[in-house]
Amino acid sequence: MNDLLSLSLPELEALACDFGAPRFAANQLFLWLHQKRVTSIDEMTNLSKALREKLKNNYDISSCAIAKKLVSVYDNTVKYLFELSDGERIESVVMQYKYGYSICVSSQVGCKMGCRFCASGIAGFVRNLLPGEILAQIYTASRDLDVRISHVVMMGVGEPLDNFDNVRRFLSLISDENGYHLSMRNISLSTCGVVPGIYRLMEERLQLTLSISLHAPNDEIRSKTMPVNQRWPIDTLLQACKDYTACTGRRISFEYALISGVNDSDKNAAELANRLHGMLCHVNLIPVNSVKERDFTRSSPQRIRSFQQILERSHINTTVRRTLGADINASCGQLRRGEGPGSDQI
Ligand code: SAH
């Protein structure tokens, strides 16, 4: 089956034409899919019956069935376990901030990247998500919670730049003014450092925020914790970031998960400050989250403060990420199929 939700308006127009329907039927179809966000073709009542039948025989609408929903008792963070049409399962997390609702979406089922501190790849890589399957996470959560989700972070399971074409298409669809119309400025895309993907994204000159999962100040530490660094070492990665900023004018956000005794010393902070010197960037320090299968611990609050101060003294804008959904394993790197204790509030 083909996925209707993944198609652009021109593609829907070609489809309408193939099925002998007028061109404007494609606009109607797009509105049903992306504004009314219906989940079945039968609900598209202003399309002719003949067109609906042809669509039903050849197309599907990507969907995310809610297999499980966990709500944090601390902060109302919601973690969804969604089931896709082939039975694969993915996770998304909705967080409530002062400025509105933000969703963290997955881009792949599993992950190939193998970062040592992350749970996403433990069960290996299964497949890429379709553009419609990335959209369906947002549409389903927004319908279920009955809220408008205004911010999207591509920081769930998977490496977005390893699924470039589908992610690019997702970005166009979610920001389409005839659809959900989410501002690109409210989207963050995070990569572990797939350099060719950064250059491809740069060419698109989008207004989104590019986040880089750096997590180490030098190649020795980074190659041990993030295998991707053996392919694209730090100098190559930071050069790509500088080129990205020069081309798009956008500030880069660096993610740095602090792991006790691994990458969190004052010396590590000074080395990081030195490397980032002069770049238009922001550093987001993340107290690393525990992952059952992995053996590492989070840095102490004093260590984190000291690390932050060293960066700030070098005039590097630095924040420490707040932890949300701590009781439902909803934090960075903890998302994994079918897992998670916590308070099941449904
Ligand atoms: N593959 C992309 C998108 C995933 S984003 C990327 O690597 O950027 C998920 C973020 O959480 C990444 O910054 C990742 O490095 C980080 N992360 C993974 N495991 C973590 C953990 N145990 N604690 C804190 N952050 C973690």
pLDDT recorded at residue 14: 96
Structure-block tokens of residue 220: 């020795």
**139, pLDDT greater than 90:** yes
Query: Is ligand 1 within 6 A of the CB of residue 212?
Result: no
pLDDT in tens, 212-224: 999 999 999 999 9
Residue nearest to atom 18 of ligand 1 (CA): 333
Are the CB atoms for 83 and 328 separated by under 8 Å?
Answer: no
Query: Is ligand 1 within 6 A of the CB of residue 191?
Result: yes
Query: Is ligand 1 within 6 A of the CB of residue 299?
Result: no
Separation of 321 CA from ligand 1 center, angstroms? 12
Are the CB atoms for 80 and 66 separated by under 8 Å?
Answer: yes
**340, pLDDT greater than 70:** no
Residue nearest to atom 12 of ligand 1 (CA): 213
Q: pLDDT-derived band of residue 345, with 50, 70 and 90 as boundaries?
A: very low
pLDDT recorded at residue 16: 96
Are the CB atoms for 252 and 245 separated by under 8 Å?
Answer: yes
Separation of 333 CA from ligand 1 center, angstroms? 5
**295, pLDDT greater than 90:** no
Query: Is ligand 1 within 6 A of the CB of residue 64?
Result: no
pLDDT in tens, 22-35: 999 999 999 999 99
Separation of 32 CA from ligand 1 center, angstroms? 35
The amino acid at residue 270 is A
Better-predicted residue by pLDDT, 84 or 334: 84
Q: pLDDT-derived band of residue 293, with 50, 70 and 90 as boundaries?
A: confident
**8, pLDDT greater than 70:** yes
Residues recognised as catalytic: 91, 332
pLDDT recorded at residue 122: 87
Residue nearest to atom 8 of ligand 1 (CA): 191
- Quick one: which of 341, 261, 335 has its CA closest to 291? 335
Query: Is ligand 1 within 6 A of the CB of residue 253?
Result: no
Q: pLDDT-derived band of residue 159, with 50, 70 and 90 as boundaries?
A: very high
**342, pLDDT greater than 70:** no
pLDDT recorded at residue 343: 36
Of the listed ranges 3-12, 75-84, 229-238, 331-340, the least confidently predicted one is: 331-340
pLDDT recorded at residue 181: 98
Query: Is ligand 1 within 6 A of the CB of residue 108?
Result: no
d(CA 241, CA 264): 23
Name the packing angle between helices 164-175 and 195-204 (round to 10°). 30
- % of the chain beyond a pLDDT of 90: 88
- Quick one: which of 61, 65, 154 has its CA closest to 102? 154
pLDDT recorded at residue 1: 63
- What average pLDDT is seen over the chain? 94
Kindly give, in sequence order, each residue whose CB lies less than 8 Å from that of residue 84, ignoring residues fewer than 6 positions away: 62, 63, 64, 65, 90, 109, 129, 133
H or E segment and range at residue 260: none
pLDDT recorded at residue 331: 74
Residue nearest to atom 24 of ligand 1 (CA): 288
Average pLDDT over residues 31-42: 97
Separation of 214 CA from ligand 1 center, angstroms? 10
Of the listed ranges 98-112, 148-162, 285-299, 324-338, the least confidently predicted one is: 324-338
d(CA 345, CA 342): 9
pLDDT in tens, 180-214: 999 999 999 999 999 999 999 999 999 999 999 99
Q: pLDDT-derived band of residue 341, with 50, 70 and 90 as boundaries?
A: very low
